Structure 1
Amino acid sequence: MDLRGARMLVAGASGEIGAALAVRLHTRGVRIALAGRDREALTRVSAACEQAPTCTFDAWDADSCAKTVDWAAAELGGLDGVVVSVGVAAFGPVGEVEDAVSEHLMAVNALAPMAFLRAAADRVSEGGVLAAVTGIVAEAAPARMADYAAAKAALATWLTAVRREQRRRGVTVLEINLPHMDTGFATRAVAGEVPPLPRGLAVQEGVDAIVEALSTGARLVRPGSGAALEVVR
């Protein structure tokens, strides 16, 4: 995908990864629309992207996510790509995780990204991209993270199926499978105590890999054996 001049929605642009990605894409000549939960943070990111348009949404509300795609398409005069970087964690033994917390995790980590990309599936132009952040927990399924891992795994499986559907249209479906990142994300968990975690990967390293993947039509970003992240076409 040629990034220069591409029209792209970054959902989750008020978070650290989404914000850094939006700014990097802007410097590469992408026309950006920014969506997130924190209006003040969006304003700061917009200022760094030459006043890119902004919109807030509620990840609990699938209609809100879908309407944000409509908004972005109207603002940009169409869409060539959507990248969704939203998520929330919770920790603890499965017997201690309340059903309401499990529902929250599934809504934010799986159903919201699905709603964004479902709404964009027929809007994104041929040669465009649909992308979402999953996470290494989708494969590793760590203890004390059962519901969080299950939500990310659900999204990963959904992306695999959508990739097969979109192949005929020439639309890339990118799974961004990131390891633990240095964002403080785990400390903002909605429930439970944070377990011991490895040192987080720097945000800019993640952004580098995501931008490479978007520009080369890759299908997967994942932890690599010889490098921090591997881009798989």
Structure 2
Amino acid sequence: MVYGRQFTHVCIFQHMYCLLGSFWINASRDLVTTVDFGPGFPDGLEALLVHRLPSGIYIDQYQLASLKEDTGLQVLLGSVVDLEAPAHTSEEFIVLVYPALDQGSLKATLPIHGRYHKPSLAGKRFELVEIKLPKLILRTDTCTQLISFPPYKIVDAPCTVHNLSICQWLEIQHLQEQDPVSLEIPLGDGSLVEPVCAGTLLVTLLCCVILSRSIWRHGVF
């Protein structure tokens, strides 16, 4: 719930009460964030979820383009995402989600995928990739200048998903204490690398010998 005073488009936010309903990974490996606002939130309120995602996962920009057409999902990537890079050569990245508010609440679903991880030499079967809660920042077109009180702070971010201009947003602090969610990534068995490579090489050589003999016997030169 937002209470504030406005003087010639200068807004002073005195109280900002938002409840982060939940943040989890569903069965389809989507990051789902829900936020509920109390009654009386201002007209024209816009929300932005700022995800800082770890190197162990990635976002498929082609999938996002398809979802934008099908569901209207508005997502802005902070950098180009290499879909084929393994986890140990990748870096964390920023994802901005512009959800639509519906009767004082929002729900954002962001599809994620696990990257390839190095095989484990210690018999470890899975790698847990922790994903922290996104930051929630708010703005409204009726306020061209914000003056905030602690614990809230003002940050700059793109006004829309088109990234044509920068606006002031109010970052909401201490929404709800919640541990990061985890995505379980299967790992290969590093102890099997040498036997598998040796077996693959042996089968390849054997096939080459058989093909060579067949060509030599029945081939036309």
State TM-score, norm by structure 2. 0.26
| Structure showing greater Rg | 2
Choose between structure 1 and 2: higher strand proportion: 2
Choose between structure 1 and 2: higher helix proportion: 1
Bigger relative contact order, structure 1 or 2, given CA contacts below 8 A and separation 6+?
2
State TM-score, norm by structure 1. 0.25
